[in-house]
Structure 1
Amino acid sequence: MGTDGRMATATDLDLLTLTQWLSPAYPVGAFAYSHGLERLVQSGAVHDAASLRDWLHDVLEHGAGWSDALFLTAAWRAKSELAVAELDDMARAFAGPFERRFETAQQGAAFCDVTAAVWDIKLADLTYPVAVGCAARHAGLPVEPTARLYLHAFISNLVSAAQRLMPLGQTAAQGVVRDMAPSCANQAHAAVEADLSALSGTAFLAEIAAMQHETQQPRIFRT
């Protein structure tokens, strides 16, 4: 592995580690969160593969997908525990609606606990992207593949949630995940080339959906 984490080539073991960390089997409870998608399905704003794909693009390019990728790469580059703590505070503040903060905090805390127990990487209770970025740095994993697989797992989980919320067959769902893969790679690369001055969040309808979901009844997801 090279010394530049942006350009380093991930080894086979690196990729297997990242795949395990970001697998649906890793016990962070990702299956319980829909990122406000449940509200959008109930309202009819997302109702088929095409509208789901459009929403995923917006979240990935203008919402939490983009900001999480920036927080992950910043955590990977952080030089001190103080820098990580400040970054984590920023990540919590940037997740505006209560359910967004709950989602990233709960998944992050679970990731920290499991990764400490299995890999002996000691992490405080961090938001999810910050936790993954810090863990990758401690494990010597290159940052860009980490960001790519993080975003791909994020998209895959939301597509899985959509399958439970609306008529979306397995073949159509996998088609959506395939279609989103280039965007995951592009956003990861852009985040690695950028810094926190590029932070933005303009997926306003997704944020509003997250706020509306707080009082939605009935519901099956925690967010």
Structure 2
Amino acid sequence: MWLASPALPVGGFSYSEGLEAAVDSGAVGNEAQARAWLCSQLELALGRADLPVVAQAFGAWQQADADRIGALNDWVRQTRETSELRQQTEQMGRSLVEWLRNSDARDDPRLAVLAALAPAPTWPVAFALAAARSGAPLASALLAHAFGWAENMVQAALKAVPLGQSAGQRILQALNERIPAVVEHAMACTDGQRQSFTPMLAILSARHETQYSRLFRS
């Protein structure tokens, strides 16, 4: 639950992951459109890419398989289709490393492996280590990751669309109803099934890099 908190000092609140650009383009302008956008992003992006990586890295950390960890970290970086999305996952990964260094994880030899990932640890891989250290089962770790993402994205929608708090809670409810099935799929996902293919998200993220006025870093 702690790892799912938006208060975790990794900077997740400063990113909209293309949502702000979707608002600027007119694709998202009200509660219904924001709900549809985020539910699609949950299922097509998070559920097919980041959550499977968290699940696979979770097991790799438990087995201290540094080669597997390195391969998963490389996959995350290589499938980020814009500089903003790549910078986001690297910045959040580095920040989680620093948080772990200031916790009881500082003597865990796996933390040195995480910190040494070049050019940077990515967020899903770093989260997986923190979750594996918690002693929680894999399903709970994935639920925490998905819920933390959902809360951050709803907060981004409240500011960017903008929406009221009640609308935000209705969107969060819609996301929460879908999260268990998405987590179940992620747990069963193989390397061959894992994918990162969201063309519209990539286009909007690229446009956001030069957007005239913006609140968020992505």
- TM-score, length basis structure 1: 0.87
- Counterpart of 2:3 in structure 1 is 21
CA contact (8 A) 1:58 1:203 kept: no
- Counterpart of 1:67 in structure 2 is 49
CA deviations on 1:88-121 (whole Å, 9 max, x unpaired) are: 0111111111111111111111112102311315
Q: Which residue identity lines up with residue 148 of structure 1 in the other structure? A: L
Write out aligned runs for 1:1-223 (5 A): 19-78=1-60, 79=63, 80-120=65-105, 121=108, 122=111, 123-124=114-115, 125-223=120-218
Q: Which residue identity lines up with residue 35 of structure 2 in the other structure? A: R
Q: Which residue identity lines up with residue 181 of structure 1 in the other structure? A: N
Of stretches 169-178 and 199-208 in structure 1, the one that deviates more from structure 2 is: 199-208
Against the structure 1 CA distance between its residues 202 and 214, is the aligned structure 2 distance closer, same or farther, given a 3 Å change threshold? Answer: same
Unaligned runs of at least 5 residues, structure 2: none
Unaligned runs of at least 5 residues, structure 1: 1-18
How far apart are the structure 2 equivalents of 1:53 and 1:166? Answer: 11
Aligned partner of residue 219 in structure 1, secondary structure: coil
Which protein, 1 or 2, shows the higher relative CO under an 8 Å CA cutoff with sep ≥ 6? 2
How far apart are the structure 2 equivalents of 1:132 and 1:55? Answer: 24
Aligned partner of residue 2 in structure 2, secondary structure: helix
Post-superposition shift, 1:30? 0.9
How far apart are the structure 2 equivalents of 1:41 and 1:178? Answer: 21
User: What's the Cα RMSD here?
Assistant: 1.4
Q: Which residue identity lines up with residue 76 of structure 2 in the other structure? A: A
CA contact (8 A) 1:63 1:203 kept: yes
How far apart are the structure 2 equivalents of 1:128 and 1:141? Answer: 18
- TM-score, length basis structure 2: 0.89
How many residue pairs end up in the alignment?
205
